[in-house]
């Protein structure tokens, strides 16, 4: 006596087709990880620092950043957040945003809010998703960015910070010293 009924070939084909359709549909849907808005990467981060001093002999710093982000190819993100310090060693840096632009130098929409003594730029349009590679060009000014010690003065600056939720591909920083300051530099120079 048989305990297992024979399966008809037609029924088996329908069953296999249903399994294949289910597997294909799940593969096409983004995973829960992909739905996390932090799930993108920073391909490159470049910062050019222009160090100078004004007529009152206060240290000034203009920073031009180019952040190249790579987003997933589905509707998940509207842009990036960039936190900029409002103070340095307990005093204000008089942060001023000059511009926020795209790769073609067109202005980008952004809003700001304060968090942990930073000014956070929320760059993007809430009605528009970004996908693939996007470039964000941010320019800002700061003052009082030099640390004064007993035997020297130093420009001691964190390039990209450590609170990002993304991985970074490449980070580049260039410091441009105003010609009027060159003669004031010590011969002992260090970079970490």
Q: What is the pLDDT of residues 2-32, one digit of tens each?
A: 444 454 545 544 544 444 444 444 444 444 4
Q: Binning pLDDT at 50, 70 and 90, where does residue 192 land?
A: low
What pLDDT, on the 0 to 100 scale, is given for residue 102? Answer: 97
Q: Binning pLDDT at 50, 70 and 90, where does residue 35 land?
A: low
Query: In angstroms, what is the C-alpha Rg of the chain?
Result: 26
What pLDDT, on the 0 to 100 scale, is given for residue 110? Answer: 97
Q: Over range 106-123, report the average pLDDT.
A: 96
Length of the chain measured in residues: 192
What pLDDT, on the 0 to 100 scale, is given for residue 21? Answer: 44
0.85 exceeded by the pTM?
A: no
- Show the beta-strand stretches assigned E in the chain: 41-53, 59-71, 79-85, 87-88, 91-92, 96-101, 110-115, 118-124, 132-143, 147-148, 153-154, 168-177
Q: Is 184 left (phi over 0), alpha (psi -120 to 50) or beta?
A: alpha
- Give the contacts of 9 (CB within 8 A, at least 6 positions apart): none
Q: Is the pLDDT of residue 64 over 80?
A: yes
**Closest by alpha carbon to 65, among 113, 132, 135?**
135
Q: Binning pLDDT at 50, 70 and 90, where does residue 60 land?
A: very high
């Amino acid at each position: 006596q048989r305990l297992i009924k024979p399966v008809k070939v037609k029924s088996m084909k329908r069953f296999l087709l249903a399994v294949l359709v289910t597997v294909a549909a799940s593969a096409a849907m983004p995973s829960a990880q992909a739905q996390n808005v932090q799930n993108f990467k920073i391909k490159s981060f470049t910062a050019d620092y222009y160090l100078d001093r004004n007529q009152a002999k206060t240290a000034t710093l203009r920073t031009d950043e180019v952040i190249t982000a790579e987003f997933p190819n589905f509707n998940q993100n509207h842009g990036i957040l960039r936190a900029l310090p409002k103070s340095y060693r307990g005093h204000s840096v008089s942060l001023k945003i000059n511009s926020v632009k795209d790769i073609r130098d067109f202005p980008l929409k952004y809003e700001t809010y304060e968090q942990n003594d930073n000014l956070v730029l929320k760059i993007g349009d809430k009605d528009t998703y970004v996908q693939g590679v996007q470039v964000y060009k941010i320019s800002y000014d700061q003052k009082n960015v030099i640390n004064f010690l007993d035997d020297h003065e130093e420009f001691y600056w964190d390039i990209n910070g450590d609170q990002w939720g993304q991985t970074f591909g490449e980070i580049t920083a260039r410091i441009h010293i105003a010609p009027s300051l060159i003669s004031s530099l010590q011969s002992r120079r260090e970079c970490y």
